């Protein structure tokens, strides 16, 4: 059903401060076919045969993804993964299914059409969006993306889902634990200012989980390659597999990470509106500590073997760690 396609990594076009813009993982190892039971489910669910399936690159899953065209002209998007092949991925798909089943239909979020889960293969059939990833280096495009993220944040504050999964605070606690247990060899690869100030900075990060209240249902992976610009200029936010409850400013801050190596990031963060919640207070310091915590924790897990299907994962973790720590150092006044 799926024709072979060259694997590619979606890259940002603009390099800033000679820091790579290849964000974390945006890589998909293409499969040629789906299992017959999943192919049969697609035809049965849609009531029409598939006449075209165009594989899509990008994304963190090693499973297949494609834009489908049916014999009756309808179009959909499907993505799937097998637990037997990528045991770390189906939980993200299942979370996205839970999220999309609850969230209301809005123009900036693709609708969930159908789901499949046989205990091994998990698949989502979604509304197809004809669009391209936004160029966030264009200020007007970045503003439009910010406006969509703000609309979503307002709609999801306070958190209307309350799903039973880790929130941002729990995630940050794991990062902090990874930093405290970092391998001495990896520690030697960290920036000189971290090595010199490590005890003080670790104490600073110790309170970070307490500054991550569960105020909003956060997408928690807002970035250029998780957004599409339709042909009419409207924007869509994709991929809810990382979602969790956290502070109201989180998603807009994550969008601004496109510019984390420059003062433009600082201006973007300063412009995040108050939402009348607890995390409005002390936000600037908390954002700085978040960059620091994520940057160091990524380095802590960036020197092992990459999982099957994600051969560039470790190099991309190192690149993203570097970007984040460039931003944290600037905000902390380190050189």
Distance CA 50, CA 42 (A): 8
Determine the Cα–Cα distance for residues 136 and 134; give it in Å rounded to an integer: 6
- Does residue 90 contact residue 83 with C-beta atoms inside 8 Å? yes
pLDDT by position in tens, the chain (length 335): 433 333 223 333 333 333 333 443 344 445 446 778 888 999 999 999 888 888 887 666 778 899 999 999 999 999 999 999 888 899 999 999 999 999 999 999 999 999 999 999 999 999 999 999 999 999 999 999 999 999 999 999 999 999 999 999 999 999 999 999 999 999 999 999 999 999 999 999 999 999 999 999 999 999 999 999 999 999 999 999 999 999 999 999 999 999 999 999 999 999 999 999 999 999 999 999 999 999 999 999 999 988 877 788 899 999 999 999 999 999 999 98
End-to-end CA distance of the chain: 53
Say which residues have a Cβ less than 8 Å from residue 153's Cβ, sequence separation at least 6: 216, 248, 251, 252, 275
Identify the pLDDT of residue 11: 31
CA-wise closest residue to 30 among 67, 64, 58: 64
The structure's pTM equals: 0.90
Q: Which two tokens stand for residue 22?
A: 């290849």
pLDDT recorded at residue 29: 46
Yes or no: domain 132-332 corresponds to CATH 3.90.1200.10: yes
Q: Which residues contact 29 (CB under 8 A, 6 or more apart)?
A: 7, 62, 309, 310, 311
pLDDT of res. 9: 30
Q: Which residues of 106-122 are buried (b: 16+ CB within 10 A; e: fewer)?
A: eebbbebbebbeeeebb
Q: Specify the CATH architecture of the domain 36-128.
A: 2-Layer Sandwich (3.30)
Which H or E element spans position 169? helix 168-180
pLDDT of residue 17: 35
pLDDT score, position 269: 98
Q: What is the pLDDT of residue 35?
A: 79
In contact, 86 and 62? CB cutoff 8 Å = yes
| Separation of alpha carbons 139 and 316, rounded Å | 26
List the domain boundaries for the chain.
36-128, 132-332
So what's the pLDDT on residue 164? 92
- Give the pLDDT of residue 235: 97
Q: What is the pLDDT of residue 39?
A: 83
The whole-number pLDDT of residue 61 equals: 74
The angle, 0 to 180 degrees and rounded to 10, between the axes of the packed helices 263-270 and 313-332 is: 70
Which pLDDT value is given to residue 252?
98
DSSP 274: P
Cross-strand partners of 68: 53, 76
């Amino acid at each position: 059903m799926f024709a072979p396609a060259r694997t590619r990594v979606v890259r940002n076009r603009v390099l800033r401060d000679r820091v790579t813009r290849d964000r974390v993982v945006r890589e998909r190892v293409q499969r040629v076919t789906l299992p017959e039971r999943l192919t049969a489910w697609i035809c049965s669910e849609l009531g029409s045969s598939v006449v075209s399936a165009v594989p899509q690159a990008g994304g963190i899953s090693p499973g297949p993804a494609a834009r489908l065209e049916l014999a009756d002209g309808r179009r959909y998007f499907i993505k799937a993964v097998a637990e037997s092949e990528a045991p770390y991925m189906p939980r993200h798909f299942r979370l996205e299914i839970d999220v999309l089943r609850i969230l209301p239909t809005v123009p900036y979020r693709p609708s969930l059409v159908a789901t499949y889960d046989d205990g091994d293969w998990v698949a989502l059939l979604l509304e197809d969006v004809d669009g391209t990833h936004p160029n966030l280096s264009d200020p007007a495009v970045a503003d439009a993306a910010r406006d969509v993220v703000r609309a979503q944040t307002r709609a999801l504050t306070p958190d209307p889902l309350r799903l039973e999964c880790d929130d941002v605070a729990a995630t940050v606690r794991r990062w902090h634990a990874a930093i405290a247990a970092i391998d001495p060899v990896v520690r030697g690869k960290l920036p000189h200012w971290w090595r010199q100030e490590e005890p003080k900075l670790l104490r600073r990060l110790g309170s970070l989980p307490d500054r991550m209240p569960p105020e909003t249902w956060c997408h928690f992976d807002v970035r250029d390659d998780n957004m599409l610009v339709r042909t009419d200029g409207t924007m869509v936010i994709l991929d809810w597999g990382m979602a969790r409850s956290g502070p109201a400013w989180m998603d807009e801050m994550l969008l601004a990470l496109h510019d984390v190596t420059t003062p433009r990031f600082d201006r973007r963060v300063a412009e995040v509106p108050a939402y009348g919640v607890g995390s409005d207070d002390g936000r600037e310091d908390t954002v700085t500590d978040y960059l620091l915590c994520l940057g160091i924790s990524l380095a802590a897990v960036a020197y092992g073997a990459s999982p099957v299907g994600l051969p560039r994962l470790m190099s991309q973790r190192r690149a993203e760690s570097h970007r984040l720590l460039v931003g944290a150092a600037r905000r902390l006044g380190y050189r």
